[in-house]
Chains A and B, each alone.
Chain A
């Protein structure tokens, strides 16, 4: 029978306590979704819904304009998966190029990449919109999904930094063993940056899931809307906003994100013990 040490208790009380504090707003959100819509802000201080109702979920699920909320979730899921695959694969290829290979103009291209990261979206938004309009990609997810296959500077930079932590001796050993460059990428580096790849996947997932500006610009038919746009439609500045439905659906849409995170974070955590290789 193991008696938990004082250290164990202190750890869990401090960390756990802090976690609860941090989560208060989220808990508030969750509890509010069970309250009557008009009562949410009136009873804001009390976390306990009284009466406890599930109506918000039913109503929120009905969606907007005849599109059930399931439609919006499906749209968002498709967009997210397509984008995620594109971003992670292309960014890792590109990052390998920057981190491991030498070529003329590398510094220039790396600099350009950082520059694209720093330019606020609002400004390239309109010219890009015109380009996509001429390509006939309006009212579809193409303008968001297709560029994802050309790398995303954030992930490229992230992966570059991670690849640089891997000793080159590994590459050299692999070359001696007869690996060509692509094999080094695929067989050596890629497995070693699993934590970073998992991190990138998580970020890509929820950034795209939560993204608003892209969908607002490029999706015209409400049947194609994503979750974030749909949530906004519960609000109104002319009449009463349907807070209950909005919070309820916010909670519902949080679930997939949380699940994905939970699954992938194991890869972030486990990584691969490199003590054997690095020692």
Chain B
């Protein structure tokens, strides 16, 4: 008898769920309505989520403590996980309208969440709860999609060549000039090979080709995200002939060599097998710490490196559309990015802070390596051009495809000219789905 009751109950439950699952997409709009800041005595609970590893978890929790002490009516529940687990969690939460109020967001997923209204427009909170007076407009605009601001830049990143000056000298080059070119790079590669070293560890296809295109006044994706941003395949051929040629000449390691690198401690630069590595500025400190010897940052090669360089938001703080405490959430986002004491705990782990005031306050506390990064980014602020914005929807597939073609070119399995054509054909078919 009991079992029948249970069965009956579940059937009722199930049918009522079926009935109300249809409303899941509409409940979001309810929380977009007007909302005033919580009064001093009203208790508010915010959920915040981020990815990272232990050090980041530790200092972020301290920042949360700090804020809670200053705002006793606010309780913040922290949800944090590793990179892989984080995105696995977030997607179903979004589907069920259960996203945490404040979300750490990455460029690669940005468009997906923004264009589907999972994260809220922050423009109404700018210069009210969120302070922008000390921050370069270029930096703020990094979070814009169309004319809405979907995320606040949590830290700035710039591309560069991070290298060991001692190994550079070993290859017979004294130093790298600010205005060095791709030809200089090819020379360096030859010298490195002669000295028994790799010149670098390869390039991430989409990132660095995009840089190259920008120096030519083009870009990887078209402005509306429905196709590629360049028409001449010769650009593709020139760039990748260079990169795959270097692999063939053994000046750069093969993809399977790199596939076995487990982490930073295994990196060829750390092991003194390669002179340098192409990566983002916020990866410099980690590398230098493990290498445990002086390393330098050089800007990207030209010509026209100013046109090519851009200030990329390393990550964003976004607000969930289903948040019921948007004003409070905005206040905390402001605290995270602009509060000086909070940033003293973070010390640029999430990227170089956008606010000049914060940067100044942090400088005396920085280690030499961190100083190098801050200096480089400040220099880049004056030697870069506007960021193209987040990758369009479908970029994930395009990048996968690109990496695969790059792999084949590096192994010599695919001619660069053919790869150029394949890339255009397949990437455009993916991006064409964005045509409205």
Given a CB threshold of 8 Å, the question of whether A touches B is answered with: yes
A residues at B contact (CB < 8 Å): 38, 41-42, 64-66, 125-126, 129-131, 133-134, 138, 212-213, 216-217, 220-222, 229, 232-243
Residues A222 and B80 in contact in the complex (CB < 8 Å), given A38-B265, A65-B58, A239-B286: yes
Residues of B within 8 A of A212 (CB): 85
List the one stretch of B88-96, B305-313, B324-332 in contact with chain A: B88-96
Q: How far is the CA of A234 from the CA of B88 in the complex (A)?
A: 17
The answer to whether B54 has its CB under 8 Å from any CB of chain A is yes
Q: Is the CB of B283 within 8 A of A238?
A: yes
Q: For chain B residues 77-125, which have a beta carbon within 8 Å of chain A?
A: 77-85, 88-89, 91-92, 95-98, 100
Q: Is the CB of B89 within 8 A of A217?
A: yes
List the one stretch of B17-25, B186-194, B218-226 in contact with chain A: B17-25
Residues of B within 8 A of A38 (CB): 265, 290
Secondary structure call for the B interface: helix
16 residue pairs of the A-B complex, CB under 8 angstroms, read A38-B290, A126-B95, A133-B96, A138-B98, A216-B85, A217-B88, A220-B49, A220-B79, A234-B54, A235-B82, A237-B83, A238-B83, A238-B286, A239-B55, A239-B286, A243-B263
Residues of B within 8 A of A138 (CB): 96, 98
Residues of A within 8 A of B38 (CB): none
Residues A236 and B82 in contact in the complex (CB < 8 Å), given A64-B54, A65-B61, A129-B95: yes
The 5 closest A-B pairs by CB, nearest first: A236-B53, A133-B96, A129-B92, A232-B82, A65-B57
What is the CB-to-nearest-CB distance from B101 to chain A, in angstroms, rounded to a whole number? 12
Q: For chain B residues 13-64, which have a beta carbon within 8 Å of chain A?
A: 17, 20-21, 24, 47, 49, 52-55, 57-58, 61
Q: How far is the CA of A234 from the CA of B53 in the complex (A)?
A: 6
**Nearest-neighbor residue (CB-CB) of B77 within chain A:** A221
What is the CB-to-nearest-CB distance from A182 to chain B, in angstroms, rounded to a whole number? 13
Q: Is the CB of B80 within 8 A of A238?
A: no
**B92, B100, B262: the one within 8 Å of A41 (CB):** B262
Residues of B within 8 A of A126 (CB): 91-92, 95
What is the CB-to-nearest-CB distance from B82 to chain A, in angstroms, rounded to a whole number? 4
**A130, A134, A239: the one within 8 Å of B53 (CB):** A239
Q: How far is the CA of A41 from the CA of B266 in the complex (A)?
A: 7
What is the CB-to-nearest-CB distance from A44 to chain B, in angstroms, rounded to a whole number? 9
Q: How far is the CA of A221 from the CA of B76 in the complex (A)?
A: 11
What is the CB-to-nearest-CB distance from A11 to chain B, in angstroms, rounded to a whole number? 38
Q: Is the CB of B52 within 8 A of A236?
A: yes
**Nearest-neighbor residue (CB-CB) of B20 within chain A:** A134
Q: Is the CB of B53 within 8 A of A242?
A: yes
Residues of B within 8 A of A222 (CB): 57, 78-81
Q: Is the CB of A241 within 8 A of B53?
A: yes
Q: How far is the CA of A236 from the CA of B54 in the complex (A)?
A: 9
Residues of B within 8 A of A134 (CB): 17, 20-21, 96
Mask of B272-308 contacts with A, CB within 8 angstroms, 1/0: 0000000000110010011000000000000000000
What is the CB-to-nearest-CB distance from B53 to chain A, in angstroms, rounded to a whole number? 3
Q: Is the CB of A42 within 8 A of B53?
A: no
Residues of A within 8 A of B91 (CB): 126
Q: Is the CB of B283 within 8 A of A217?
A: no
Q: How far is the CA of A42 from the CA of B92 in the complex (A)?
A: 39
Residues of A within 8 A of B264 (CB): 239-240
**A42, A125, A213, A233: the one within 8 Å of B54 (CB):** A233
Q: Is the CB of A131 within 8 A of B17?
A: yes
**B52, B265, B286: the one within 8 Å of A42 (CB):** B265
